[in-house]
Amino acid sequence: MSFPLFITLLVFILIFVLRMPIALGMLASAACYLLVKGADLSLVVNQVMNTYYTNYVIIAVPLFIFTANVMNSGKVTEMIYDFALGLVGRMRGALGQVNILGSLIFSGMTGSAIADAAGLGKIEIEAMTKSGFEPEFACAITAASATIGPIFPPSIPLVIYAMLSSTSVGALFMGGMVPGVLLAIALMIYVAIVSKKRNYPRGEKIVLKTFISATVKAIPALLTPVILLVGIYSGVMTPTEAGAIAGLYAIIISVFAYRALGFKDLLNVVKDSIRDVGATSIMIGAATIISYIVAREQLAANIGNWILGITSSKWTFLFIVNIVILILGMFMDTSTIQLVFVPIMIPVARALGIDMIHFGLVVTFNMMVGLSTPPFGMLLFITSGISSTPLKDIMREILWPIVVMLIVLALITYIPEITLFLPRAAGLI
């Protein structure tokens, strides 16, 4: 390890220990590297700005963030909840099933686990608690089901992975459909088992007229993923253009269909989106300069050669990657893992003949599990905050849902066709 690289790692670790913003830590460590190297500090700015000038697909990220914020500000989440309740409302533990089904539907609009938990999750937790579910169980299921968001298309993490790996966004989106549905089914089975064991209540019987009314009201919201996916796969729009269309459509249905978004509300949405996009953009830009340092120091090649010296089996490699990401997910933000660790592993995965779509879905799914893993799972903190439920109780209840998610992770890791079947059938790979 060269001295400049040693200093870079030392500064990064120090900033991580001090709990400073990771993005600033990456920028600071990069600046230290260039100073020690005697290079021009303007290289930091150049690398960051080139990210946005040369990667058209990355523009989709702020657009989907804006869409998620609009959806949560209007009555879209309520319409989705009522529709899901009509579908599975008579099952044992009905509201737990509604929670999962609602997340699956909502994920087809925003691609964000955080948006799902913060928006739809608040409605779901309140309803489940009032009907007799323990608050910690409601929070745990909400956190676990929110994981579906970044897997099922459209997906913000998959857009970022597409940028990192030069992989087709459309193929990644299609590859995420089956894993997303599979996770939803697995969680619904878990809820059914727990509901029978704990004798959770059935939902109220919903008459056909009420269900039809809820369905009609939900149609504008339900059309969102249809418009996006049909537009992308028909070639009418790129994923980036689809993000813009999604944002515009979200405004139209919130203002005109549901009459729930006024000018003041829209202004607040824009402010929130600017703040969220700013934080994400700084993170992505900072990761770019780190990637430059990794390439210049040949760190990826050295790590790759070291791993290849240990094993030449792609299955063993995937096992190692899963274990490492799971451990990192307990302590680090998923954005940091995706932008710093994953790019190092991509060349090794290619060298071992692993399909980049399959690899992208595996690492993305794994990172989303990290959002629910103690002690620093972001979704745990969000659900605790919106429900005033003690964090320690949620951590105890989330353990079995994590086991369910890990089982699904193992399936998509070692049965690649789960992720590749649809893209291959569509002729995208």
DSSP label at 204? P
| Those residues with Cβ within 8 angstroms of residue 225's Cβ, 6 or more apart along the chain or in another chain | 105, 108, 109, 153, 154
Confidence tier at 400 by pLDDT (50, 70, 90): very high
Between CA 324 and CA 303 the distance in angstroms is 14
7-24: average pLDDT: 73
Q: Is 166 left (phi over 0), alpha (psi -120 to 50) or beta?
A: left
Confidence tier at 365 by pLDDT (50, 70, 90): very high
Q: How many CA atoms lie within 13 A of 356 on its CB side?
A: 21
Residue with tokens 């203002």: 255
Between CA 61 and CA 266 the distance in angstroms is 19
DSSP label at 152? S
Between CA 395 and CA 390 the distance in angstroms is 9
Number of domains in the chain: 1
| Those residues with Cβ within 8 angstroms of residue 226's Cβ, 6 or more apart along the chain or in another chain | none
Q: What are phi and psi of 378, to 5 degrees?
A: -60, -40
- Range from 75-79, 312-316, 392-396 carrying the lowest mean pLDDT: 75-79
Residue 29 maps to a domain = no
Residue 17 maps to a domain = no
* Contact status, residue 153 vs residue 229, Cβ threshold 8 Å: yes
Residue 417 in this model has a pLDDT that exceeds 70: yes
Residue 300 in this model has a pLDDT that exceeds 70: no
Residue 316 in this model has a pLDDT that exceeds 80: yes
- Range from 61-70, 98-107, 111-120, 221-230 carrying the lowest mean pLDDT: 111-120
Between CA 138 and CA 381 the distance in angstroms is 14
Q: Which of 146-150, 178-182, 272-276, 328-332 has the largest mean confidence? A: 178-182
> Which carries the bigger pLDDT value, residue 102 or residue 138?
138
Q: Residue 62's domain spans which residues?
A: 40-425
Q: Which of 12-16, 31-35, 391-395 has the largest mean confidence? A: 391-395
Write the burial class of residue 370 (CB in 10 Å: 0-12 exposed, 13-18 middle, 19+ buried): buried
Residue with tokens 């992720």: 419
Between CA 70 and CA 271 the distance in angstroms is 11
> Which carries the bigger pLDDT value, residue 390 or residue 228?
390
353-376: average pLDDT: 89
Q: How many CB atoms lie within 10 A of CB 313?
A: 11
* Contact status, residue 200 vs residue 90, Cβ threshold 8 Å: no
- Residues forming a β-bridge with 202: 92
| Those residues with Cβ within 8 angstroms of residue 178's Cβ, 6 or more apart along the chain or in another chain | 418, 419, 421, 422
195-224: average pLDDT: 79
- The amino acid sitting at 61 is V
DSSP string, 59-122: GHHHHHHHHHHHHHHSSHHHHHHHHHHHHHTTSBTHHHHHHHHHHHHHHHHH--HHHIIIIIHH
Residue 313 in this model has a pLDDT that exceeds 80: yes
Residue 26 maps to a domain = no
Residue 108 in this model has a pLDDT that exceeds 70: no
Confidence tier at 22 by pLDDT (50, 70, 90): low
Residues in the chain, overall count: 429
Between CA 30 and CA 287 the distance in angstroms is 10
Residue 328 maps to a domain = yes
Confidence tier at 257 by pLDDT (50, 70, 90): confident
Confidence tier at 408 by pLDDT (50, 70, 90): very high
Q: Considering the chain, what percentage of its residues have pLDDT values greater than 90?
A: 15
Q: What are phi and psi of 297, to 5 degrees?
A: -85, 0
Residue 190 in this model has a pLDDT that exceeds 90: yes
Residue 12 maps to a domain = no
Between CA 165 and CA 208 the distance in angstroms is 48
Residue 236 maps to a domain = yes
Angle between helix 42-54 and 22-37 (nearest 10)? 130
pLDDT tens for 150-179 read: 888 878 888 889 888 888 888 998 999 999
Give the pLDDT of residue 427: 81
Confidence tier at 55 by pLDDT (50, 70, 90): low
Residue 335 maps to a domain = yes
DSSP label at 201? P
- Smallest CA-to-CA distance from 362 within 308, 318, 320, 428 is with 318
pTM: 0.80
* Contact status, residue 83 vs residue 271, Cβ threshold 8 Å: no
Residue 275 maps to a domain = yes
Confidence tier at 118 by pLDDT (50, 70, 90): low
